[in-house]
Amino acid sequence: MIATPGARRDRWISVLVFLALAGLWQILSMVYTAEAQPGEPMVAGWQVLFTDTFLALSDYWPGGFGVPAVGDGAERSYLAALLSVLSHSIDTIGRLSLGLALGGGGGLLMGLAISWSRWSRRLFDWPLQFLRTLPLLAMVPLFQLWFGTSFFGEVLFVAYGIAVIVFAGTVNAVRNVPPIYLDNARSLGASRLMLYRTVILPAIFPALRSTILLSLGAGWSAVLGAEYLGAQSGLGYIIVYAQQFAYLDRMFFVALLFILYTSISYWAISRLFARLLAWAPPSQRR
Amino acid sequence: MTSAVRPEMRSAPRATLLSRLRTALAVLDPLRIAGVVLFIAVWQMLTLGLPPIILPTPLGVLQRVFSDFLSAPALSYYGVSEANLYGNLIYTAENVAMAVAVGSVIGVLAGLVSARFGLVRAVIDPVVMTAGTVPILVAAPFLLIWFGVGRASAVCLVIFYVVVILYVCAQRAATNLDPVYEDNARTLGATPRRMVRDILIPATVPEILGGLRIALAGAWGLEAIAELLGSQSGIGKVLEVLAGATDPQGIMATLLVLGLTAIVVDGLAAFAIARTAQWSAPAR
């Protein structure tokens, strides 16, 4: 990004806005001291979040690396809390990445296959549209029935959520390839396979950018949904258990982690696409 | 009126009737219908090899929809206040309508204002962009504890996401508007009020309505999941209860009802939008 004076000013303002929000939260925690249960503030101030709350997260450390679990009688410690946060984050991110790879690849391949001809596209149009309308998270119970609470089932759920979006995005993008490109290549004698490799794939790539960003959001949602209902690890698991005992401060801590992770993932994917799309005309890059 | 004019007058409505018939036929594309039949056939084939507890038959699910729609006494044993799909669907639809109405007003106003005042934009943008990425399952527990289990939490949750979508849409619509229109009006001496009324609103309404359609489509799922986490009635509550009772047939029937409702409402919205924003191409 080019740092024009306006952009630099905006960046300062957004930093200030976040600082102001953090300050507001602190003031709220001091003014509104109601407790969800004894010793558990409804609005936890930062001094609580980074000491007691963080320490409490060591409850979710299953033990290992020479750091015993709190469940086995050990004291809460910052090291166990850190390990706990890291291991549960890695579990969640692992599920998400596997689901992204599986769903993204599968959705793309299926989308390309169905775009093979106008006939196949029409044949699959309505079932596809219907699957897209079904609310993803409301399907968690169904996946749980099918696959139980296995790791495979969780990944598959994420993959399904992503595949549906990528699939629809691919079909749409292929349909929007200007016919003149295709006619041109065809008149020069390109076979259907060559057409795919040299014309269609590069042409749909810019359009897939927004599809991928959309599916990333769905993926974060889906991985939480999968963990919400029965997983034994991951950030969703922590939220579920914290919610049962109304540990609002732990929920808030995990929510902050989530905001951090989602922001980083969006930023990383945008940067990756900006780099990969350096060749595309600016109107398609956005 | 001479007879020479009459055929022309007659032919105009006949042409529209014909073209309407043609579009209706185009919607009922035999190949698309064949696709649905194929989909159901594959489903039926799969049920032959799998036990009904895993995958119920399509016919069973359809029968379940008809039998549960008006009366499903089993639901009342599990504590759903409405013992049928119809009542729960109405409850969900009311919440969706309320949330979309309130959320779109807030989102559109904020989006339009932010597009014209840089400082406002610089303040709201980072908050909305960050908040918009928070998955609903992270946000929902807070609202459920703060506002309690009930209609308010679910509606607030959906409002939040509707605001994000419409804020982005309205802002983009106003930002992408070619400045030449407003410059021209200003040169001709338009007051700020007239600029908003005659240029900003007509130019942005089509894109905003498109955003409204996206928000409406997503709202069903969000509302259902909010109800699934904590509510006394609604489609989401029904899903939660049926999941607890290990009833895939019921779950699929409920999902089918929800999906079909969303499709019908989306179709109606598309029709209404095409009608309202006839002056603009992107609305179609």
pLDDT digits (tens, 9 = 90+) for A130-142: 887 787 877 887 8
The mean pLDDT of A166-180, rounded to a whole number, is 86
- A43 to chain B, minimum CA–CA distance in Å? 10
Q: What is the DSSP string of A149-208?
A: T-HHHHHHHHHHHHHHHHHHHHHHHHHTS-HHHHHHHHHTT--HHHHIIIIIHHHHHHHH
Burial of B137 (0-12, 13-18, 19+ CB in 10 A): buried
Interchain proximity B31–A9, CB inside 8 Å: no
* Range of weakest confidence among B10-14, B155-159, B199-203: B10-14
Alpha-carbon distance A249 to A256, whole Å?
Answer: 11
Q: How far is CA A80 from each of CA A40, A252, A286, rounded to the nearest angstrom?
A: 21, 19, 44
**What is the CB-side half-sphere exposure of residue A180 using CA atoms within 13 A?**
0
B41 or A7, higher pLDDT: B41
Contacts of A18 in chain B (CB under 8 A): 126
- A29 to chain B, minimum CA–CA distance in Å? 14
Contacts of B35 in chain A (CB under 8 A): 122-127
Question: Of the spans A1-5, A37-41, A186-190, B97-101, which averages the highest pLDDT?
Answer: B97-101
Are A266 and B133 contacting, i.e. CB atoms less than 8 angstroms apart? yes
Q: Rounding to the nearest 10 degrees, give the CA dihedral for residues B66, B69, B74, B76.
A: -170
Are B160 and B110 contacting, i.e. CB atoms less than 8 angstroms apart? no
- A186 to chain B, minimum CA–CA distance in Å? 26
Most A-contacting residue of B28, B54, B117, B133 (CB-CB within 10 A), to test interface:
B133
Give B253's contacts (C-beta < 8 A, 6+ positions apart): B61, B62, B64, B65, B68, B85
3 state SS of A116: coil
Q: How far is CA A64 from each of CA A80, A89, B13, B208, rounded to the nearest angstrom?
A: 9, 16, 79, 53
Burial of B16 (0-12, 13-18, 19+ CB in 10 A): exposed
Q: What would the pLDDT profile of B139-191 be if each residue is shown by its tens digit?
A: 888 888 778 777 888 898 899 889 998 998 888 888 888 788 888 888 888 88
- Which member of B119, B141, B258 has the closest CB to residue A243? B141
Q: Report residue B4's pLDDT band, with 50, 70 and 90 as the boundaries.
A: very low
Q: What is the ipTM of this complex?
A: 0.76
3 state SS of A203: helix
- A56 to chain B, minimum CA–CA distance in Å? 19
Two structure tokens written together for A149: 């609470």
Interchain proximity B262–A224, CB inside 8 Å: no
Are B257 and B85 contacting, i.e. CB atoms less than 8 angstroms apart? yes
pLDDT value of position B11 = 43
- A37's enclosing H/E stretch is strand A35-37
- A97's enclosing H/E stretch is helix A78-114
Interchain proximity A135–B217, CB inside 8 Å: no
Give B112's contacts (C-beta < 8 A, 6+ positions apart): B170, B171, B174, B200, B204
Alpha-carbon distance A120 to A145, whole Å?
Answer: 32
Please name the residue ranges forming H helices in chain B: 6-27, 30-49, 58-70, 73-77, 85-116, 118-132, 136-147, 151-176, 179-187, 192-195, 201-229, 235-244, 248-276
Percent of chain A at pLDDT exceeding 70? 89
* Range of weakest confidence among A234-238, B98-102, B156-160: A234-238
pLDDT surpassing 60 at residue B283: no
Contacts of B43 in chain A (CB under 8 A): none
Interchain proximity B133–A10, CB inside 8 Å: no
pLDDT value of position B206 = 81
The mean pLDDT of B187-214, rounded to a whole number, is 84
- Which member of B139, B236, B246 has the closest CB to residue A138? B236
pLDDT value of position B20 = 67
- Which member of B39, B145, B246 has the closest CB to residue A246? B145
pLDDT surpassing 90 at residue A171: no
The mean pLDDT of B23-41, rounded to a whole number, is 78
Q: What would the pLDDT profile of A59-109 be if each residue is shown by its tens digit?
A: 777 767 766 667 666 677 777 778 888 888 888 899 999 999 999 999 999
* Residue in A closest to B35 by C-alpha: A123
Are A195 and A252 contacting, i.e. CB atoms less than 8 angstroms apart? no
- A240 to chain B, minimum CA–CA distance in Å? 9
Interchain proximity A119–B31, CB inside 8 Å: yes
* Residue in A closest to B262 by C-alpha: A133
- A28 to chain B, minimum CA–CA distance in Å? 14
pLDDT surpassing 90 at residue B69: no
pLDDT surpassing 90 at residue A259: no
First-to-last C-alpha distance (Å) of chain A:
12
Interchain proximity A18–B126, CB inside 8 Å: yes
Alpha-carbon distance A250 to A253, whole Å?
Answer: 5
Percent of chain B at pLDDT exceeding 70? 87
Q: What is the DSSP letter of A67?
A: B
Q: Which pTM was predicted?
A: 0.80
Are A36 and A246 contacting, i.e. CB atoms less than 8 angstroms apart? yes
Could you tell me how many CB contacts below 8 A there are between chain A and chain B?
143
